Amino acid sequence: MQSFAGKVAIITGASSGIGRALAQQLAAQGCHLALADIDAEGLEVTTAPLRSPDLRVSTHTLDVADRDAMHGFAEQVLAHHGRAHLVINNAGVAVSQTIEEMRYDDFEWLMGINFWGVVHGTKAFLPHLLAQGEGHIVNLSSIFGIVSVPTQGAYNASKFAVRGFTEALRQELCHTPIKVSCVHPGGIRTNIARSARFYQGVDGKSDAGKAAARFDQLARTSAEQAARVILDGIRAGRPRILIGADARFLDRLQRLLPANYPRLLAKLLIKS
């Protein structure tokens, strides 16, 4: 997909962060948009500046964890736009809690969005892409789908699952025209930390405000920069898209020390 002009892109989690930045940059390149999020107000903030006589922009308020809603979303998109070329399963949330203390309902909430949202988006649009004979599916994992860190067990589980699901999908579609990419961002300055469910850390203490502020300090890449890297990766047909120097460093660390990196990260992240 060398050009996005005249194409139709589907983006979940489009009310803020990377989703909003992707919508803005794709619209600037003449791409029609179907934007989805559970946050109707944030979705309107994203779409209001993008509407123009030259672009078709549809908005869809839904929960990606809801299978029926996602398949209904695909039907609405095809009815409104007539086709779909680029499916970006971007919606995501976070929970910060030790595995011992994590509540099942928090784990299920996160997996419903981070993992099942990707599955639903993929399965809802894949039959159309195959029938159409062209398309690109982009699933958002994380650098935490390559390395694990303490208090992020649920998030790690979801993002490792997205990675495995996407790599299997790519293999199954290797003899078709459909491209598949898995995105692994490092620290990106978005609202995910501030909207996360924070509980106690491994030291038995937690301060959600301080944790979110620390994340903001460590996150060196803007959502706009991340969106540019993703779109460049799509144009190049890259199956694996790493975003940020931190993601590239941790990816190398895992390759060099696959058995020992957890101990190194634990020493850095868990204060005695």
What is the domain range of residue 146? 8-269
For residue 193, give both structure tokens. Answer: 């930390």
Residue at 236 is within a domain? yes
pLDDT at 215: 47
Residue at 31 is within a domain? yes
Residue at 227 is within a domain? yes
| CB-count burial class (<10 Å; 0-12, 13-18, 19+) for 167 | middle
Residue at 1 is within a domain? no
Q: Looking at the 3D structure of the chain, how many domains does it have?
A: 1
pLDDT at 198: 54
CA-to-CA distance for 138 and 235, rounded, in angstroms?
A: 12
**Hunting for tokens 């937690």 — which residue is that?**
206
pLDDT at 196: 57
Q: What is the pTM (predicted TM-score) of this model?
A: 0.89
Provide the CA 187 distance to its chain's centre, in angstroms.
Answer: 13
Residue at 3 is within a domain? no
For residue 88, give both structure tokens. Answer: 């970006």
Q: List beta partners, residue 25.
A: none
pLDDT at 272: 42
Residue at 82 is within a domain? yes
Residue at 89 is within a domain? yes
Contact by Cβ (8 Å): 116, 44: no
For residue 131, give both structure tokens. Answer: 């029938």
Residue at 25 is within a domain? yes
- The DSSP code for 97 is B
Number of Cβ within a 10 Å radius of residue 217? 10
pLDDT at 197: 52
CA-to-CA distance for 180 and 87, rounded, in angstroms?
A: 10
199 is catalytic: no
What is the domain-level CATH number for residue 156?
A: 3.40.50.720
- Intervals of the chain under pLDDT 70: 189-219, 271-272
